[in-house]
Amino acid sequence: MSFLEIKALTKRFSETTAVEDFSLTVERGEFVSLLGPSGCGKTTTLQMIAGFEQPTSGSIILHGRNLAKIPARKRGLGIVFQTYALFPHMTVEQNVAFGLEMRGIPEPDRRQKVAAALDLVKLSHLAKRLPKAMSGGQRQRVALARALVIEPELLLLDEPLSNLDAKLREEMQLELRRIQQEAGVTTLLVTHDQSEAMALSDRIAVMQSGRLMQLGTPFDTYETPKSTFISNFLGKTNCLNARLVSTTGTASTLVINGIEVSGPSVNLLPGDVMASLRPERIDIVESSDGHTEAKVLERIFLGDQWLFRLETKLGELLVVRRNRGRREAEPGENVFIVWQPEHLQILPASRESA
Amino acid sequence: MISNGRYSLLFNALFTLFMVGPLVVVIGVSFTPTGYLEFPPSGLSLRWFAAILDNPDFIDAAWVSLKLGIASATVSTIVAVPAALAIGREKFSGREALQALFLSPLTVPTVVLGIAFLRLLSVLELNGTFVGLVLCHAIIITPFVLRLVLSSVVGMDRSIEKAAISLGASNWTVFRRITMPLIMPGIVGGWVLAFITSFDELTVTVFIVNPSTTTLPVRLFSHITQTTDPLIASVSTVVILFTVALMLLINRFYGLDRLLMGETK
Ligand SMILES: Nc1ncnc2c1ncn2[C@@H]1O[C@H](COP(=O)(O)OP(=O)(O)OP(=O)(O)O)[C@@H](O)[C@H]1O
Ligand SMILES: [Mg+2]
């Protein structure tokens, strides 16, 4: 039996179904992200686990305990809210001590635990500050310390980094991962930021319109998305309308925009499909031998890499190249592109998931 | 920018003049040595302040007003806080109606309210009693408390309470340790505003007092209708000083701007 088992969880509001038939199991100590676009039901799922929303149906079992009849305050979960939700009238120390106080932990013990939690998030020197005199990143850490100090069985994070600026967010990602591993706490993170989900999680659960679409490690989800929606949502990709002509045990043949292209073997029937090709899997070369011709439409310098928009016989393609400090093709220039057939992802052409 | 600044300066100056002017006149008049109202005073004398002590009915009336203000502000705060919490955050049918009901004393002409209260109190057999006064004043001043408390309730991030619950706090603990402190500016502001409104209320009160429960404004009013000696000016000056002292005290401990804005945090 897994540590956390969510079974067929459904939540209907009067007009909308926010979460539908959502099932997920999480192992002890694991870090799982719920990833999906705005309004796909991530927060609602988290709120049901936390006990702030009643599920319409389905069950949540944590460490063998069915949470259905347990009120939020008795669930013993650590929650970090998007707005941090610190108690503004209490110092950092008092914020962190609150949960221990509620548990009736005696004073000397409490003080020691608070100190340890503040140490974990590296805020010991600010223990007497009020939250309003702190930066976003510091408040974030206070919120984490407050949630972790009660030694929760499960840590729930709702877009904890979305209020931070880009640079701080990257730093906090590393911090969050370190803290989570040091505390060894099972963690569920809600985010709509794919890079955050990939950087932090052991596994990612991709949600769309209240449903779980795909569950897997960041690498597997990125490399073998089940639909064009997921492939688009996790990083950039080139999606091309294609027709699957034939497929054997080792390879397949497709037609894209009238051009015959080979791809990996797939488990699909011949007919209309979607071909997805990641921009970083396409290489730009100078020699023509058998490679596809392309013309540079646009070129953007991103510091560590270049982003090209190319016109080809297959259609417009985005290509990403690592910046090697050399001259790169300029807009208007003709180049050739090449990719490995197995890097072409062949996906069902279902309209709904486009 | 400059002309804008000049206009706003002018506006502020005029506004201050109209606000402060009458107060200056009243205070000036109260120091006159003469037996009639005179401004500017021809000399400086405390004669009319001493006269207050010879008029125990003014002092009695001041005590009634003080007790009435404290009691009615407290009663209306006790009613308005739960009402504001319900109106500000729950979604129930009749929510709008409830809010309109609580604010309605603001929209009914005070003379009408006075007559209505007179009838109400005789039905309840509370005519002319202190309890009756408290009841009527509480009704009149509740809208002020409700609005200030409501604004701090609405401005409060509800996930703060959820955080407290998730840490194991019971509903009562959440209210006591989190919600109350966070809406305290609204509560204190509402209470003070209510107290001042009650202390100062005349139109409704005239209908429902009797000689033993006469409030200070009613006493002053009936005094003016009989004579126009500077006694009313000296009493008014004492009231003004009392109010200023109250405001300074609150400002010292609380911040007046926070209080009047009903802001959280
Ligand atoms: N209390 C509610 N009453 C009615 N509908 C709601 C309620 N809460 C959420 N919804 C609806 O349920 C859906 C899912 O909402 P939810 O907040 O879970 O999305 P989310 O994935 O967290 O989105 P975001 O990334 O924008 O936070 C939305 O369509 C939302 O409008
Ligand atoms: Mg959300």
Give nearest CA residue, ligand 1 atom 29: A39
In a domain, B9, yes or no: no
All residue ranges of chain B with pLDDT < 70 are: 1-4, 253-265
Contact (CB, 8 A) for B185 and B264 = yes
Give nearest CA residue, ligand 1 atom 26: A38
Tokens 């990996």 correspond to what residue? A264
Task: Tell if the CB–CB gap between B169 and A102 is shorter than 8 Å.
Answer: yes
Out of A9, A14, A44, A81, give the residue to mutate to test ligand 1, the one with the largest number of ligand atoms within 8 Å of its CB.
Answer: A44
| Predicted local distance difference test score (pLDDT) of residue B254 | 66
How many other CB atoms sit within 10 Å of the CB of residue A257? 13
In a domain, B36, yes or no: no
CATH of the domain at B248: 1.10.3720.10
Which residues on chain B place their C-beta less than 8 Å from a C-beta of chain A?
Answer: 157, 159-160, 162-170, 173, 177-178, 181-182, 265
- Minimum CA–CA partner of B179 in chain A: A87
Contact (CB, 8 A) for B148 and B141 = no
**Phi and psi, residue B79, nearest 5°:** -80, -40
| Predicted local distance difference test score (pLDDT) of residue B210 | 85
| Predicted local distance difference test score (pLDDT) of residue B41 | 84
In a domain, B193, yes or no: yes
In a domain, B20, yes or no: no
| Predicted local distance difference test score (pLDDT) of residue B257 | 65
In a domain, B152, yes or no: yes
Q: Which of B150, B174, B180 is nearest to B161 (CA)?
A: B174
Contact (CB, 8 A) for A291 and A283 = no
Total number of domains constituting chain B: 1
| pLDDT per residue rounded down to tens, chain A (354 residues) | 789 999 999 999 998 999 999 999 999 999 999 999 999 999 999 999 999 999 999 999 999 999 999 999 999 999 999 889 999 999 999 999 999 999 999 999 999 999 999 999 999 999 999 999 999 889 999 999 999 999 999 999 999 888 888 888 888 898 899 999 988 999 999 999 999 999 999 999 999 999 999 999 999 999 989 888 898 888 889 999 999 998 888 889 999 988 888 999 888 888 899 999 999 999 988 877 777 889 999 999 999 999 999 999 899 999 999 998 888 888 998 999 999 988 999 998 865 443
Q: Which of B68, B67, B63, B62 is nearest to B237 (CA)?
A: B62
Token representation of residue A198: 């990939």
Give the DSSP H/E element, type plus range, for residue B197.
helix B180-200
A328/B250 Cα distance (integer angstroms): 69
| Predicted local distance difference test score (pLDDT) of residue A281 | 92
Cβ-based contacts of A83 with chain B (< 8 Å): 157, 159
Q: Which of A72, A88, A147 sits opposite B165 (nearest CB)?
A: A72
| Predicted local distance difference test score (pLDDT) of residue B2 | 52
B165/B82 Cα distance (integer angstroms): 19
Domain that holds residue B224: 56-261
**What structural domains and CATH numbers belong to chain A?**
4-228 (3.40.50.300), 236-282+341-354 (2.40.50.100), 283-338 (2.40.50.140)
| Predicted local distance difference test score (pLDDT) of residue A351 | 56
| Predicted local distance difference test score (pLDDT) of residue B255 | 66
Chain A, chain B: beta-carbon pairs less than 8 Å apart: 61
CA–CA distances in Å: residue A290 to residues A287, A294, A319, B209: 9, 13, 19, 104
Cβ contacts of B137 within 8 Å, gap of 6 or more: B68, B69, B72, B76, B198, B201, B204, B205
| Predicted local distance difference test score (pLDDT) of residue A280 | 92
Give nearest CA residue, ligand 1 atom 20: A39
| Predicted local distance difference test score (pLDDT) of residue B252 | 75
Q: What share of chain A is helix, strand, coil (3-state, %, to 5)?
A: 30, 35, 35
Strand order in the sheet with A271-277: A259-264, A251-256, A238-247, A271-277, A345-348
CA–CA distances in Å: residue B152 to residues B75, B111, B177, B261: 19, 31, 16, 9
In a domain, B225, yes or no: yes
Contact (CB, 8 A) for A203 and A30 = yes
In a domain, B14, yes or no: no
Considering the entire predicted model, what is its pTM? 0.81
Q: Which of B63, B172, B163, B7 is nearest to A139 (CA)?
A: B163
| Predicted local distance difference test score (pLDDT) of residue B36 | 84
In a domain, B143, yes or no: yes
Share of chain B above pLDDT 70, in %: 94
Q: Which residues of A278-297 are buried (b: 16+ CB within 10 A; e: fewer)?
A: bbbbbebeeeeeebbebebe
